Amino acid sequence: MEENHFIAKKATPIPWTTFWEAPSNIALIKYWGKTTPQIPKNSSLSFTLSSSVTQTQITYQPAGSGTFDFSFYFEGVAKPDFKPKLQTFFKRIEPYVPWIEGYELTIKSSNTFPHSSGIASSASAMAALAMCLMDLELKLFPGMETELFHQKASFLARLGSGSAARSVQGPVTLWGANKIQDHSSDLYALPFGPDLHPVFSTYQDAILLVDKGTKAVSSSQGHQLMHQHPFAPQRFLQAAENLEAIVPVMKAGDLEAFIKIVELEALSLHAMMMTSNPYFILMKPNTLAIIKRIWEFRASTSIPVCFTLDAGANVHLLYPQDYINQVNTFIREELAVFCQKGQYLLDQVGEGAKKV
């Protein structure tokens, strides 16, 4: 589908309030490197999460033609410092939602996961915002097909933050033009589809909070550094190969192959960071200590746990629901000690954004 397919018409403003929540997601095949506007250099695939969500309410107030303004509150507090990022977002999406002219928006947002937990909230935040926008678009132009509704929501979310494209639907989504999936696109993410092996629709993700501070290098800077990266062409090829390899694995439920690809992707992402110029390291000593324990636990129990990493020090421990008791005991007894203040979040794969 082309961009112009997503261009809506103008409409007379109406008062309207809508409230949506959208989850965070964790990439298995990583997006790292992009061109303007948020076009990924390689396709990515992720688990949509369930409990880690952003809830966003928008009140749309008609405010006279030619005007557009908004105020933003995070967890009940006005946050004017978030305004520039949101302004950039609204400017980017304006051609696709021209009906937005003539409104004053009050945007109220909050996260269910702890503030500054080192969990990237841009994906859930931008996806929740996109759902609220699409909700009014559907009200103004009834009859839009559900598929188009989701694709445009993902398209708008992507223009806010690339990985947000993958937070609209679940339990597994794929973003980026690829050879494997029909109708795949760099413009929006699509659900993996009905061929997904059932083991993955209840997969568990324990987020081990190793470091809750602000990252030394932001994801935006990290993406930027891929432009002159000496290994970038090889990395984009590797990601494409890993995507091609993981798709049949996710249909077959082959956990041994799944683990090999997922851990390779996590460490390849961080290898890109460590070999950027300037180079940087987001892992902490406890990130490595946890990885070592996970490998030992897997070797000694044959329980198919594995890890992945986001752009940060936290470790996502992934495991099938069948092993929840053994793994949660392992986390409590052996891994919590490496987490900041012993904190971790138990989440699982979920179905995507929903109306509150």
- We find the least distance from the C-beta atom of residue 166 to ligand 2P0, in angstroms, to be 7
Shortest CA distance to 40 belongs to which of 128, 159, 209?
159
Does 54 interact with ligand 2P0 (rule: CB under 6 A)? no
Separation of alpha carbons 344 and 322, rounded Å: 20
Does 276 interact with ligand 2P0 (rule: CB under 6 A)? no
Does 235 interact with ligand 2P0 (rule: CB under 6 A)? no
Angle at 340 between CA 220 and CA 116, to 5 degrees: 40
Answer for which of 56, 121, 154, 161 binds ligand 2P0 (CB under 6 A) is 161
Question: Restricting to residues 188-207, which ones interact with ligand 2P0 according to CB under 6 A?
Answer: none
- We find the least distance from the C-beta atom of residue 271 to ligand 2P0, in angstroms, to be 13
Does 246 interact with ligand 2P0 (rule: CB under 6 A)? no
Between 139 and 227, name the residue whose CB sits nearer to ligand 2P0: 227
- We find the least distance from the C-beta atom of residue 167 to ligand 2P0, in angstroms, to be 10
Does 223 interact with ligand 2P0 (rule: CB under 6 A)? yes
Does 60 interact with ligand 2P0 (rule: CB under 6 A)? no
Answer for which of 226, 269, 283, 313 binds ligand 2P0 (CB under 6 A) is 269
Name the amino acid, one letter, at 346: L
Indicate the DSSP class of residue 203: -
Answer for which of 31, 60, 72, 113 binds ligand 2P0 (CB under 6 A) is 31
- Give how far Cα 239 sits from Cα of 33, 44, 68, 132, 205, Å: 11, 8, 41, 32, 22
**Are the C-beta atoms of residues 93 and 133 closer than 8 Å to each other?**
yes
**Are the C-beta atoms of residues 55 and 19 closer than 8 Å to each other?**
yes
Indicate the DSSP class of residue 334: I
Does 167 interact with ligand 2P0 (rule: CB under 6 A)? no
Count of all residues that appear for the chain in the document: 356
Separation of alpha carbons 336 and 339, rounded Å: 5
Does 32 interact with ligand 2P0 (rule: CB under 6 A)? yes
Residue with tokens 């083991």: 199
Does 38 interact with ligand 2P0 (rule: CB under 6 A)? yes
Between 27 and 132, name the residue whose CB sits nearer to ligand 2P0: 27
Does 30 interact with ligand 2P0 (rule: CB under 6 A)? yes
- We find the least distance from the C-beta atom of residue 122 to ligand 2P0, in angstroms, to be 5
Does 162 interact with ligand 2P0 (rule: CB under 6 A)? yes
Does 17 interact with ligand 2P0 (rule: CB under 6 A)? no
Residue with tokens 């993700």: 205
Q: What DSSP assignment string belongs to 85-144?
A: HHHHHHHHHTTT-GGGTTEEEEEEEEESSPTTSS---HHHHHHHHHHHHHHHHHHHSTT-
Does 178 interact with ligand 2P0 (rule: CB under 6 A)? no
Binding residues for ligand 2P0 (CB under 6 A): 27, 30-32, 34, 38, 44, 120, 122, 161-163, 219-220, 223, 269, 310-311
